[in-house]
Structure 1
Amino acid sequence: MKRRTLLLSLATCGSAWSAPVSPALDRRAVTVRAPSRAVLLGAALAGERFVAVGERGLAVVSDDCCRTWRQAQVPVSVSLTAVAFADERHGYATGHGGTVLRTTDGGLTWARQLDGRAIATMMQESAMRGGDAAQRKAADRMVADGPDKPLLDLVVSSPSEVFVVGAFGMALATADGGNTWAVRSGLLDNPKDLHLYAVRRRAQVIAIAGEQGLFLRSDDGGHSFRKLTLPYQGSFFTLELPSERDIITAGMRGNVWRSADAGSSWQQLSSPSPAAIIASTLRQDGSFVLASQAGQLLSSTGASLEVLKTPSLPPLTGVLPLPGKALLALSVEGVHLLPPVVALKNTN
């Protein structure tokens, strides 16, 4: 993908990629001179180490609280979209071409556990067992298309348990560290195979946000899901679960919605900007921070959102909390280490 922001990358999911993905699945990540200035799309903590992933298979690590970064060893050169860790050593990353990578050394080296070629075959076999003609047709099309569809987010529940979601309704899970995978798409009320952009877990609650207002919730650890109805039918690119009943989801045109009753009712939070919100994070105190395509970081103050006072930032792709309310922001220009920030007054 040549487009330089996560939002534009996601927008292309409605059509096939113009360039073949298969060669990049078997080619090592591109080596870059300044890894901290590359396009990065996701970040996570592995114990006290910071790990970020991004375009062309890039994975970078920092052991000095984000001041310096070095490149990790990655066996693919597809763009990596998200990363998460179970503990200081065991983590996973998702990416284009249906890629799932695994690390057992805190992000220094990665191994491929899954790609779109295997996913297409698994979905075809699952459709054949289920006897659904429409699912069989969709699976046959995936096999014919090749590995051109990205996985976009994941939750890592333990070193061996991972749930991943992506474009065209892809959802898969492993319980043995990626040795075997099970297709979970059939558990979702998603007959149009809408894109699944974000997934989060808290205890037994798993929530998925997606295209055209799609929002799904499981209260049994992912064994079953139900569709929640929201007042907004635009795409949601991110979500957070401050508690098992509280939900925050955000996406197109600055739309941010909050539920305090597990999705039974929703309140829209007034946003200071119509820019798309494409990433979010929870702080230790339970508050949340949103990152927008306009280079803004937003926080909640009751029923509205306020812009955090930061230096001028490029379009953002991710955000992660640091000790003492500092933030790590990811962008199309790399990482930005931000000291503790305060909110500007919302004049809306």
Structure 2
Amino acid sequence: MKRLLAGIASLAVFSVTGAAEPVGAALDRPALAVRAPERAVLLGATQVGAQWVAVGERGLVLRSDDGGSGWQQVPVPTSVTLTAVRFADERNGIAVGHGGTVLVTTDGGHRWERRLDGRRIAELMLADAKARQDAAGQKAAEQLLADGPDKPLLDVLPLGRDRALVVGAYGLALATQDGGKTWTSWAGRLDNPKGLHLYAVRQRGSRIVIAGEQGLVLKSDDAGQSFQRIDTPYKGSFFTLELTGEQEVVLAGLRGNVWRTLDGGREWQALQLPMPVSVVASQLAADGTLLLANQAGFVFARRGDTFAPVNRDPLPSLTGLAAGRNGALLALSVQGAMPISSKP
């Protein structure tokens, strides 16, 4: 647990909710009703049709049908902290979180079913390592079993209505092709022998890029069949990334470090933010503008090679960002979700 705490201590979610809260009982306990869900710690959100769906601490799943001003809690079968949510279409979505939790909805977010947890992940990774005759991987999976379901999943990438990739701490990477009924470990596809944390995953066409701690970047140009490790100039953690063009990748993370490549990872250029504060989230606005959110409560919009603050005054410490249609933008924080303008 010490390495997990050190690797993600700079993220507001972990400093607020606790990086390693006991999850054994919480994993199987339905989320309790919250009196003021709009003021809770929220970590991920996405627009689904005309509504928003957000997730956060203690198993919170919320829906808003008024642009993010008012929120209603949705019952879910777990009370572990949820870290990210994505939808493949207006009905099929996946949320991930602590304890290796994966929740699936097929009705636009009204009802959720648990399709994976840390217990099952450890079993899958052990079977995969044995099948590949990977002694180191087998040892790591045996440690997962011994530790129990205490490793968080940190991001999810829908690859179609029934297909998705989830990534998380200690190199967790698993994929499903049947809506979460069965899962396959992708650990053997990733050049990550130290089991570094995987914080974010994005896709553009057949390209998939994963960003993690200690400057780790993994790129696939064949829709995830194989991955190549990309060397980067910065060896601190990258908490988020966006694929902003056919060859352009932008990484952002610890201490406000932002780096971009225009050639798929051969050469890198630093982009300067107005303040050296950790970037915890990113989004591409509807018009393609790159948006970054940091722990100091500011959202920045990219203008060429520079970034301009979207909000004049600081918001509460930010934990996430969600962009929707027609310029809609939600800033997620330790005090809930706040609709803001995406224009500086």
Please tell me the TM-score bracket, short chain as reference: over 0.9
TM superposition shift of 1:21: 1.0
Partner of 1:7: 11
Change (3 A) 1:16 1:340: closer
Partner of 2:315: 313
TM superposition shift of 1:302: 2.2
1:115-167 CA distance string (max 9 Å, x none): 00000011111111121211111111000000000000010121200000000
What letter matches 1:199 in structure 2? V
TM superposition shift of 1:99: 0.4
Q: Distance in 1 between matches of 2:130 and 2:181?
A: 22
Q: Does 1:136 align with 2:109?
A: no
Change (3 A) 1:64 1:8: closer
TM superposition shift of 1:340: 4.6
Q: Distance in 2 between matches of 1:299 and 1:324?
A: 16
Residue among 98, 116, 119 paired with 1:117: 119
1:87-107 CA distance string (max 9 Å, x none): 111100000000000001111
Identity of aligned residues (%): 54
TM superposition shift of 1:173: 0.2
Partner of 2:220: 218
Partner of 2:303: 301
Partner of 1:170: 172
Q: Does 1:89 align with 2:95?
A: no
Alpha carbons 1:204, 1:219 under 8 Å: kept? yes
Partner of 1:237: 239
Unpaired runs of 5+ residues, structure 1, are 343-348
3-state SS, counterpart of residue 212 of structure 1: coil
Q: Distance in 1 between matches of 2:328 and 2:125?
A: 43
Q: Distance in 2 between matches of 1:232 and 1:253?
A: 11
Q: Distance in 2 between matches of 1:185 and 1:339?
A: 39
Partner of 1:66: 68
TM superposition shift of 1:6: 7.6
TM-score after normalising by structure 2? 0.94
What letter matches 1:335 in structure 2? A
1:166-201 CA distance string (max 9 Å, x none): 000000000011111000011001110000000011
Q: Distance in 2 between matches of 1:153 and 1:124?
A: 22
Partner of 1:278: 280
Change (3 A) 1:45 1:325: closer
- The count of corresponding residues between Structure 1 and Structure 2 is 338
Partner of 1:346: none
Q: Which has the higher contact order (CA 8 A, sep 6+)?
A: 2
Alpha carbons 1:49, 1:106 under 8 Å: kept? no
Q: Distance in 1 between matches of 2:70 and 2:19?
A: 37
Q: Distance in 1 between matches of 2:243 and 2:143?
A: 35
Alpha carbons 2:43, 2:82 under 8 Å: kept? yes
Q: Distance in 2 between matches of 1:181 and 1:244?
A: 30
Alpha carbons 2:295, 2:318 under 8 Å: kept? yes
